Amino acid sequence: MSYRPAHIYFNYRILNLSFNLTLQFNASRAVHSCLPSRYCCNACIVLKPKREIKLGGLALLVFPVGFFFLGCWQVKRRIWKKDLLERLKERYYGDPVELPEDLRELNNMEFSRIKVRGAFDHSDEFIIPTRNRRDPKFVEHRSHFMFDEYSPVGANVVTPFRVKDRGYKILINRGWVPKEKIDPKTRRKGQIEGEVEIVGVNRLNEKRPPLVMKNDPIRNLWFYRDVNSMAKFHNTAPVYLEADAECTIDGGPLGGQTNVEIPDNHAAYIVTWWSLCALTTYMWLSLFYF
């Protein structure tokens, strides 16, 4: 007969009497750890709280549960954002289309490239100040000083454009100019006369960014893109196109200022919310169990 240590034999007999043995972490850890794994496969481990969990303790679960669902919501938002970016880039890099007869269709065509023919009305142009220059070739010379010749800070020039055979005007953002070229008298060479064809990116209203001044239509001061108000003040149709880079002419505004990139920070938010979920879950278990 083989020799079996007394403490193992004793615990082996206990496990044979009942496979539903309940072990408490703090009371039976030493005994349980000395048993071979084949003797413990059917043991049931039940955590018992070290203190009574009252209503206030249950209410604390709102935090880990809330953080978990916020993380799930950000997963959904990230899927939506990636799909949106794909659709916008497909429009932006697609072939230009004619301006639709029904202008209401443009509400579902943001970032689509639109082709129009007509003439500019330079007498009614206006600017959107404090805009950064978007030009990949300019990055290597870029300066962060506002009054430097290589400063990216300037303004966008918006000019009413009479569309051929349509009987109305639309708004064309011709592009970026430096501070010293904001006055149209300093860029007469770039003031196109006569009939031209323009390809521009369709843009809709934008919300006023934080810390940006409100538009003042009475003084013709515009700090963000409010297409409806701009169109009403300048007596045009509510259409706003941003001229692409190919529309740039010598001495005129620099086209291609459309920013098609939309911030996608949802992955960081997912990590943040689920990390907080794990942390608050551990804190809750430490408070009542460990």
Closest alpha carbon to 282 in 113, 61, 107: 61
pLDDT in tens, 61-120: 999 999 999 999 999 999 998 988 888 888 888 899 999 999 999 999 999 999 999 999
Bridge partner residues of 197 (DSSP): 117
| Residue 126 reports pLDDT greater than 90 | yes
Instruction: Classify residue 163 by its DSSP letter.
Output: E
> What is the C-alpha to C-alpha distance for residues 280 and 276, in angstroms, rounded to an integer?
6
The stretch 2-27 carries a mean pLDDT of 41
- Percent of the chain exceeding pLDDT 90 equals 50
First to last CA, the chain: 43
pLDDT in tens, 41-58: 555 566 677 777 888 888
> What is the C-alpha to C-alpha distance for residues 290 and 285, in angstroms, rounded to an integer?
6
- C-alpha triplet 206, 119, 163: angle, nearest 5°: 65
The stretch 241-261 carries a mean pLDDT of 89
Q: Report the SS3 class of residue 186.
A: helix
Q: What is the pLDDT of residue 34?
A: 45
Higher model confidence: residue 150 or residue 212? 212
Q: What is the pLDDT of residue 138?
A: 54
- Long-range CB pairs of 37-41, under 8 A, 24+ apart, other chains included: 39/11, 39/12, 39/15, 40/15
